[in-house]
Every structure is written in C-alpha cells, then in structure tokens.
Structure 1
Amino acid sequence: MPAAKAGLTPEQISAIDAAHLWHPYSTIGAESVAPVVAVGARGAWLTLVRDGKPIEALDAMSSWWTAIHGHGHPVLDAALSAQLGVMNHVMFGGLTHEPAARLAQLLVDITPAGLETVFFSDSGSVSVEVAVKMALQYWRSRGRPGKHRLMTWRGGYHGDTFTPMSVCDPDGGMHSLWADILARQVFAPQVPRDYDPGYSAAFEEQLARHAAELAAVIVEPVVQGAGGMRFHDPRYLRDLRDICRRHEVLLIFDEIATGFGRTGELFAADHAGVSPDIMCVGKALTGGYLTLAATLCTTGIAHTISSGEAGALMHGPTFMANALACAVSVASVEVLLGQDWRSRVAEIGAGLAAGLEPARALPGVSDVRVCGAIGVIECERPVDLAVATPAALDHGVWLRPFRNLVYAMPPYICTPAEISQITSAMVQVARLVG
C-alpha cells in the first residue's frame, strides 16, 4: 500500500479529509462520491488509491486544464529546483526580480499585439478582478466614472470571486444563488456556434443603448469553458473588436482556459487575428505546478490609469509575481514553444473527434463537439458522478464531468493510444448516464 509523502496512509488521508476538508463545489458530509486519494502523478498519469489498492489513471482533465505537459516534466522540475536554490519569494512592492522580468517579456512577445503591460496575480479569478479594476479605473482617470458596468454574452464563466461572478451566466450558472447581491451587468443572448451577422448587429444595438455606462465587454474567446463548454465562430471576436472601438468600450478577453494552445492557436484571439485591450491568462501558464495568473493591457490603458487621480492601479496581491511560479512559468512556455505544439494539439483533436463519434448515436446524448484539444459529450440530463467516476476509473481514466457534460482537456503529451483510452471511457460514461 503506497503512503503519501507526508507519512499518512490513504485510509488516514480519507479520514482526515472526511472530517475537515471542504472540496470545490461540494457539500460537507454529503459527497455523492468520496474524493479519491492521489498518491502520485507522472507524465499523463495519476496514481490513485481505489478499493485500497493503487491504480494508474490518465489525467484527462490536465488537473483542471493546467498540466499541459503532464506531471513531473523534467525541464519544469529543474527550473523550479534551480529557482528554489536562489530565491523562493520576495514582496513585489518596491522589488523586482529576473523570473518576473523574463516572464513578462515572454508574455508580451507571444500575446496579441499591443498588450505590453503585465500585472501578475495569484489565480484566474483574481486576474479577472484586476482586468475589471483596470477598465473601471481607466474610465475614472479619463473623467468618465459613469462608465462602470460590464457587458457580456450569456453562458460564460469568469471565476468565483464576486466581480467575476457578476459576468457569469446569471440564470443557469453556478452563481445564480448570488443574483440578488451581485453587481447588475448587461447580458446579451447566448452567442451562437455558427456565425450569424444578425447576432452581431443585435449585440451592437444592445451595447449602444448602454454605451454611456459601459466600461468594458468581457468574453471568453472561441470557447466558453466552465459555463458549458460551448464553442463559437471566431468572426464574432472581430465583430466585438469593431463594435467596442466604435462605441468607446474596452474589450477584455478571458483566456484563462483557452490560452497556451488549447484551441489550436496559441491564444484563442489568434483565430480571429484581433487584439483585446485587456487579456487574462492563467491555468496552463505554470504548466500546472503553482498558482499564477496575469492580466495584460495596452500601454495606453496603463499610462492613463497611472496619470489619473489615484496615480496607481489600486491592487497588490501578497504573493504577486512569486519567483518560483514565474520561473516555472517561463520554463513551461519555453517547453511549449520549443516543440511542434500545433501539430500535437491537432493530432489530439483528431483523436478526440474520431473516438467520440460513436457517442452521437447514444440515447440521451444531445451533442458531441471538439475544438483543438477539447472534447465534449453533452448529455440530455445531468451526469451522476456516483456513476461516472467509477465507470471512467474502470477504463483507467480520471474524468470530472459537470452538469450534463462529459468532457476532456488532456495533456499535450498524450499518445494516440492514450487519447483513444480517454474517448472510450467518455463514451462508456455517456452510455451509462444517458
């Protein structure tokens, strides 16, 4: 029986967990499926304890979309170890350091043109908070404080802190509990999958009615992630860019889930060839090693805020630009850029499409869709985790369905055989829960 490095047995871990730990989106004492104990991770595989025995399972989720190179990558391990021997963390107020400088320059070089100022934060949700604060403070600095609301399309997800929650789906989303106390934002209808110029025209009409009070439009480009794993035509992004420019509204792209190659382009904005005014990145930024996110903006926005009444962007996380996180992020991005990642993502996408095709014929399945290295089976009713989790583990795959979606966002290192194993598990889960 393997024991965790802390010296606890899996049974002890489970007991302490049941007594004291609160997991994401879970109810204390009423989990439909008890958390599985993880005791190792290497490459695309997790070592889990099931029925008292160690098993190997493919991490089809990239550990919530972060571990694009898999686990324990030697280059990332070495970068983290080297930085640990130099400096683990210093406050970023009044100090700077090489890992932050290198990562900032790298992000400026690879993100859409014009994004030249980088603000580091601890998580994706906080990076969205910072993006919104940038937009609001920009307009205040221009003497237009009335521009304080946000606009988005329905079906989105931008994080679990309060400002991001206010631009998540207001009705069917996980944050409807807070609808009566969240800031009131402007919501356009759900963006269609296929391109419809009429949708963009209606979006502009709605935006124009609120332009005097709108600070920014915020969307997830090409893929709406945790809001429903829905995809849309990149041409909508070009329309948004033009619409926002015409009506003096800033444009924010939330690339936390889509950045670093997941959709088949380095950033989802690249599908449309447009640049937002502000962009958020996170998740895969560190390769799944540590928590770090970044909010990038144009020089014009940064200078306007800096010359305003406050004289500074009023935000400052304690662990901002953590040296360890920045160092491993540089290594992760360099590993990505140093390989033919585009072909790898295309190969994974082709494998997902082929392997998920049989699910289309299953009763209870309403849609099957693939974008880059994202594969989704949409079911007609909610997925029961008590059925789905063990069924996937029976196939040697770790899946974490949500709502009515069985999906995968696997590491880019997965082989064709591993992708086939993942899709087989997904189809079997859909068959059982359909």
Structure 2
Amino acid sequence: MTSPIWHPYAHLNTQAPSPKVVGGEGPRFTLESDESLLDATCSWWCMIHGYRHPRLVRAIQRQAEELCHVMLGGLTHEPADRLARELVRVTPEGLNHVFFSDSGSVGMEVAMKMAVQYHYLRGKPAKHRMLSLMKAYHGDTAGCMAVCDPEEGMHSLFAGFLPQHRFAPAPTAPFDAEEDAVQADLDALREVLEAHHHEIAALLIEPLLQAAGGLNMTSPHYLRGARKLCDEFDVLLVFDEVATGFGRTGRMFAADHAAVTPDIMVLSKGLTGGYLGHAATLATDRVHDAFIGDSELHAFMHGPTFMGNPLACRVALESLAVFEEDDYLDRIQALNGVLREELLDDEALRVHPDVVDVRVLGATAVIEVHDAKALKGVADFARARGVWLRPFGRWLYTMPAYITSSNDLRHITGVMKHWFSTRHTPRSGRDVATHP
C-alpha cells in the first residue's frame, strides 16, 4: 500500500519509495531492512548528539511524567524559565530577552515582525522592509520565503504572492579572508543601505555559513562591518543561527567568531539536539524596551500554541548540559581537523574536473560541482556503502553529529571522495534533491 505521507521537496512522478527508519543509535539509524546507515547529515543538521542519547531520552521521559504541555500565554513553568536564563547566559552579551516558538522558520517570522514593530513604536513606520542577502535561505513559511534568494532559491514560483524586500549581493570573501579583502562586499552592502535605509527595518544574515543556499562560507570581518553599517543606518541586525548555532561553525555561535552581538538572534535545530521541534528568538534590551508602553500597539501580537513546550524546554536544557559537560567544542575541533585533512588536503579531489570548490568550516564540509548531473546516483552509491548522504543541487555535503568518531567521519569522507574517483555514469536522477 502506498503511504499517504506527502514528502518534502519530492518530485511525485520520480521519487523512489522512502526507506523506513525503525531506530537509531549514536551517529547511525537503522532501516526496516536491517541496514545501518551512518548519518552524514544528522537529519537536516539538528541531531548533534546522534540518536537515542540516554540523557536526552531520560529528560523527555521525566518531563512527560510531570507536565507535557501548557500554554505560555498568561502562564509560565520551570523548564521555560530555566531555558530562557540559560540561553541568555550562553549567547552573545546583551541578548537578554527570549521569545519561544516551535520551528526555525517561525522563529525568523518572529524576528521580522519584532523588527517592524520596533521601528513602528519608535515613530518610523516606513521602515517595514527587510534587507536580505543573495544565496540566503531563511525558511519555507511565507514571510521567510520572501527573504530567500529570489533568483537561485527554491521559491521563485511564489514571487507574485510574496511581499517584496531588498537584497544585497552575497559576500564573496571566504572565511579566512583578510579584512581588506572583505571591503568590496561591505561596499556593496553599504550601497544598498544608502539607497534604501529609510524603508529597511532589519538586515537578515546567516552568519558565516549560508547553509541551504549553497553552503557559502563567509568572513567574520563581514559580520563586524555589517554591525557598524546597521548602527550607522538605524537598521536592526538579525542573525539567523538556526543552522549555525550550537557549534556548527566551530564556536558556540557563529557570532562568537566576530565578537558581535546582533539585535536579534534566532535559534533552532541544535537547540533541542533535534529531539523535539523548538526555537528561540532572542533580543537585546534596545529592542525589547521599545515594546514597553501603554497603548494596545505595544503588545507583541504573536503566540505559537506550542511555544515554550515543557518537553522541548527540558530536552533543550539537557542538550546544552551535555554540550558543555562533554566538551563538544573540542570534539568539533577534532572533526574539523579530519574534514580538512580528508577533503581540503586531497589534491586529486580539488582538481577533479567535476569539482568547483571544496570548503570546510567547523563541523561542515561541502564539495561543490559544476553541474548537478555530476551527483546523480550519489545517494544510492553512499547507501550501498553504509552512509546516508543527501546532496542538493550542485552540493555534496556533510554535517555530521558531533559524537561521530574520527573513523566514522573518515568513512563518510571516503565515500564522498570515492564517488569522484570512480567513473560515475548517471544511474538515476531521483536523489538530486532541491533542498538539503
């Protein structure tokens, strides 16, 4: 019997039957067929502790015995209070206020509404548009689609439906670029702000790693320059750290590489270690205090049903405790060393005729190819070798769980490289996905 599930990002005429997952342990999940696959993508980058982590499982079980859910409207509870305090503690200095929601996309919607209302309450209602970057991806909800790359992004079909915002060129200087090399990118950003700052409420940035837009890796100097430009033009700076937060770039948050505090920061994915959906939008005193007033318009009119869910908050607290107690930043540094050694230092891979670039940042690596056809069949190829890889477009990448061993990571990178060292006549186009 055909499953009634409508799968995401799937071409219905060509999609193959989806393998059924029946369990998981550590960095691997198990299929109904008894195959055990090493997850190279950590389930869209969120399962940072791997599967069936005993402490996270127990945290959910204990919380379920006490309180599974209660509305946060007019009420509060201890897991939400504790998690808010912990997030203020670990995020960049000054992000003192936490608004919960249930997904990264919704967290970004919250950030955008917050920015628009902030300027309205300050008597600047004309500042109601966003400034985003080309190659950006911020989510699939309507507001988020409108600030994704309008040319190469996946949402061009909806252009007539979406509100119109402004876009600046994507940064081109790589992560390790010198400050002078970043100036051209900042000049391009300044040009857009000079022309349109009167209508721009906020600049939205995926700091250092533009993930689903092609894993573009950019410089901390760009973040510092963007902070100064936003201050100059009275524009809020919003960091979308849904993908980059909780260690993915090698620091706890991408903002930490630049010692920059955004006005608003959005977290999800690794927030709960992937065990439950949850998100947090953090704001500075400057943003929060603009909402203090007597009029009805001072209330922030947003309230997801499952915001601050006790189960999600409790497992997020345990996830953060495991992260810190088990020295995950050191683990990520070790993973980075393996990725650099196995991919960046592989001359044959870097000069392969199919390959445009090989990039590594923190616990993330990507092989970019000239043509997506060069990746047709790679998912089946990897599965036959015990690895779950899901390429998208022209990018073959890995974002492993942080508990992945060096040997397991070398197996992942070995499969990625073996694909290019083998004559790979296209076998099937089914696994060239449009989303990571």
TM-score, normalised relative to structure 1: 0.93
| Residues 155, 168 of structure 1: 8 Å contact kept | yes
The 3-state SS of whatever aligns with 1:128 is helix
Aligned counterpart, 2:237: 251
Secondary structure at the counterpart of residue 34 of structure 2 = strand
**Other-structure match for 2:311:** 324
Aligned-residue offset at 1:433:
6.9
Q: Structure 1 residues 346 and 383 mapped into 2: Cα distance closer, same or farther (>3 Å)? A: farther
Pick closer, same or farther for the CA change 1:383–1:295 going to 2, 3 Å: farther
Gaps of at least 5 residues in structure 2 are 427-436
Preserved CA contact (<8 Å) 1:43 1:72: yes
Flag as ranges the 4+ runs of structure 1 deviating above 6 A. none
Q: 1:368 to 1:336 in 2, by over 3 A?
A: same
CA distance in 2, matches of 1:306, 1:211: 25
Query: Which residue in 2 is equivalent to 1:346?
Result: 333
Instruction: Tell me the alpha carbon deviations over residues 98-146 of structure 1, each in whole angstroms, 9 at most, x when there is no partner.
Output: 1101110000000011111101101000000000000001011111110
Amino acid at match of 1:277: D
Work out which of the residue numbers 104, 115, 120 in structure 2 matches 1:124: 104
Shift, 1:184, TM fit: 1.2
Q: Distance in 2 between matches of 1:66 and 1:303?
A: 32
Preserved CA contact (<8 Å) 1:97 1:323: yes
Partners of 1:355 and 1:313 lie apart in 2 by 49
Distance in 1 of aligned mates of 2:60 and 2:203: 37
For the pair 1:301 / 2:281, whether they are aligned, the reply is: no
Q: Render the CA deviation track for 1:357-395: whole Å, top value 9, x for unaligned.
A: 242132211111100000101111115776111101122
**CA distance in structure 2 between the aligned counterparts of 1:429 and 1:321, rounded to whole angstroms:** 44
Q: Distance in 2 between matches of 1:326 and 1:430?
A: 43
Matches within 5 A, 1:7-406: 15-17=1-3, 20-31=4-15, 33-49=16-32, 53-192=33-172, 193=174, 194=177, 195-307=181-293, 309-356=296-343, 357=346, 358-383=348-373, 387-406=377-396
Does 2:399 correspond to 1:409? Answer: yes
CA contact (8 A) 2:169 2:188 kept: no
CA distance in 2: counterparts of 1:65 and 1:355, whole angstroms: 20
> Could you tell me how far 1:309 is from its partner in structure 2?
4.6
Q: Secondary structure at 1:378's aligned position in 2? A: strand
Distance 1:74 1:113 in 2: 32
- Paired with 1:201 and 1:39, the residues of 2 have a C-alpha distance of 52
Q: What secondary structure, in the 3-state scheme, does the structure 2 residue paired with 1:280 have? A: strand
Structure 2 Cα separation of the partners of residues 28 and 251 of structure 1: 39
8 A contact 1:345–1:412 mirrored in 2 = yes
1:429 aligns with 2:415: no
Q: Distance in 2 between matches of 1:38 and 1:380?
A: 33
Conservation of the 8 A alpha-carbon contact between 2:182 and 2:219: no
Q: Counterpart of 2:281 in 1: which secondary structure?
A: strand
Secondary structure, in 3 states, of the residue corresponding to 1:426? helix
The superposition leaves residues 277-329 of structure 1 with CA deviations (integer Å, 9 ceiling, x where unpaired) of 00000001001100001100012211212326512111000111100000000
Q: Is the 8 A contact 1:377 1:430 kept in 2?
A: no
Paired AA for residue 128 in structure 1: M
Q: Secondary structure at the match of 1:46?
A: strand
Deviation at 1:430, TM superposition (A): 4.0
- In the alignment, the residues of structure 1 paired with residue 2 and residue 38 of structure 2 have an alpha-carbon distance, to the nearest angstrom, of 26
Deviations 1:220-251 (A, max 9, x none): 00000001111001100000000000110000
| Contact 1:306/1:313 (8 A) holds in 2 | no
| Percent identity for Structure 1 against Structure 2 | 46
Instruction: Report the Cα distance in structure 2 between the residues aligned to 1:355 and 1:373, rounded to whole angstroms.
Output: 13
Q: Deviations over 1:241-272 (max 9, x none)?
A: 00000110000000000000110010000000
Question: 2:276 and 2:425 mapped to 1: Cα distance?
Answer: 34
Aligned-pair CA distance for 1:27:
2.6
The answer to whether the 8 Å contact 2:39/2:400 transfers is: yes
Structure 1 residues 16 and 138: alpha-carbon distance in aligned structure 2, compared to 1, 3 A threshold: same
Equivalent residues of 1:397, 1:422 under 8 A apart: yes
The answer (yes or no) to whether the contact 2:182–2:221 under 8 Å persists in 1 is no
Instruction: Give CA deviations for 1:170-191 in whole Å, capped at 9, x if unaligned.
Output: 1011011112221111111121
Partners in 1 of 2:425 and 2:6 — Cα distance? 26
Counterpart of 1:320 in structure 2: which amino acid? M
Q: Which amino acid aligns with 2:410?
A: S
Equivalenced residue count is 414
Which runs of 5 or more structure 1 residues have no equivalent in the other structure?
1-14
2:196 alignment partner AA: H
Q: Tell me how far apart the structure 1 counterparts of residues 250 and 159 of structure 2 sit (CA, whole Å).
A: 35
The code of the aligned residue for 1:382 comes to A
Q: How does the TM-score come out when normalised to structure 2?
A: 0.92
Could you tell me how far apart the structure 2 residues matched to 1:321 and 1:430 are? 45
The letter of the residue matching 2:322 is: V
